[in-house]
Amino acid sequence: MTRVAVVVFPGSNCEHDVAAALAAVGVEPVLVWHGEATLGDVAGVVLPGGFAHGDYLRPGAIARFSPVMAAVTEMAAEGAPVIGICNGFQVLTEAGLLPGALRRNEGLRFLCEPASCRVRSARSVLTSACEPDQVLELAINHYEGNYTCDEATLRLLVENDQIALTYEDNPNGSIGDIAGVSNEAGNVVGLMPHPERAISPLLGSTDGVVLMESIAKSASAWAGRARRPAHAPVAN
Amino acid sequence: MRFSVVVEVSGLEGIADPEGQTIERALPALGFEGVADVRVGKLIRLHLEAPDETTAYERAGELCRRLLANPVIERYEVAVSPLAGTG
């Protein structure tokens, strides 16, 4: 079974929801404490939501220096799926693994509500199982979800097809209605909505399943690709 | 030598500051006229060990760039002064 790490920072509070959502799509979740230097034998990593290190200074500002982040950065460079959800998205931008930054919501209100999100690119590891233009009913739960970048960066995001998800009705002032972005390669993705909270009719939506399935599919594909060189006969 | 460092972090010019705007709108309601361009930021004080003031200033700038400010959305100003009674 494909294994995916879920990093637990002091102050994370969505790690068990993410683990359950991964298990629901056939992935074995492995909770990894932020103080660990390695992620173990995994084919991807999710940084879950919460308030890592109390969100002191800025959300994600302290978490990016957690020991485990060196291993996360290495996995990202190797092309493995790296997903940041909500606070995890903030950590990835602070770590420089994703462009831009997340500021306080326009209107200075904490938002905890459903948000319709449109899949803009099915190229990323988070959206590879989606149909382009598919609209997903997800939940948002944040105070600092107002995605910001300069105009030049926004042009690059559009040109390189890095905008994974947009809000149908922008709730927080994000530039370009952006709800989720990827790096240029598409293997590092951050999003403010919580796919792990939309995996059962009991939760009000099952639209997060296709995003979790994308993660599962990407991790499985990466595991297959990563293993081949290790088992390949050595030339000469 | 020990230096006292004061770091002021605020939003980059051109980035909306809803907190500043709210304060700006509130002040005339209290009778304070002529207030404009209210910007809200944060102030961080710290003590720093360094051989001289120039080095202290450089180190303070470095820790701003690495941690105290996010250059994507924030600017910073650093003020350094020798702590009295040291040297």
Tokens of B54: 């120039």
Between A234 and B41, the more confident residue is B41
Name the fold adopted by B2-82. Mth169; Chain: A , (3.30.1280)
pLDDT of residue A228: 52
Which DSSP category does A136 fall into? E
| Residue where the block lists tokens 């399943």 | A209
pLDDT for residue A38:
97
If you count residue pairs, one on A and one on B, with CB atoms under 8 Å apart, how many are there? 28
Of B15, B18, B22, the CB nearest to A148: B15
Residue ranges in chain A modelled with pLDDT below 70: 226-236
Q: Where exactly are the structural domains of chain A?
A: 3-231
Which of B10, B13, B15, B73 to probe the A interface (max A CBs under 10 A)? Answer: B73
pLDDT at A107: 86
pLDDT the model gives residue A129: 97
CB contacts, 8 Å: A103 with chain B: 15, 73
Q: pLDDT-based confidence at B23, cuts 50/70/90? A: very high
Q: Find how far residue A34's CA is from the centre of its chain.
A: 16
What is the CATH topology of the domain spanning A3-231? Answer: Rossmann fold (3.40.50)
Which pLDDT band holds residue B14 (cuts at 50, 70, 90)? confident
A98 and A147 Cβ atoms separated by less than 8 Å:
no
What rounded mean pLDDT belongs to chain B?
93
Q: CA B78 → CA A189, B7, B54, distances in Å?
A: 34, 5, 12
Give residue B13's pLDDT. 85
Q: Is the ipTM beyond the 0.95 threshold?
A: no
pLDDT given for residue A227 in this prediction = 57
Provide the 3-class DSSP secondary structure of residue A83: strand
**pLDDT tens-digit profile of A88-126?**
999 999 999 999 999 999 988 999 999 999 999 999 999
The C-alpha of A148 sits at a distance from chain B's nearest C-alpha, in angstroms, of 8
> For B8, what's the count of Cα atoms within 13 Å in the CB-facing half-sphere?
8
Q: How close, in Å, is residue B57 to chain A by CA atoms?
A: 21
In this complex, is the C-beta atom of B13 within 8 Å of any C-beta atom belonging to chain A?
no
Residue A75 sits at φ, ψ, to 5 deg, of: -60, -40
**Closest chain B C-alpha to A224 CA, distance in angstroms:** 37
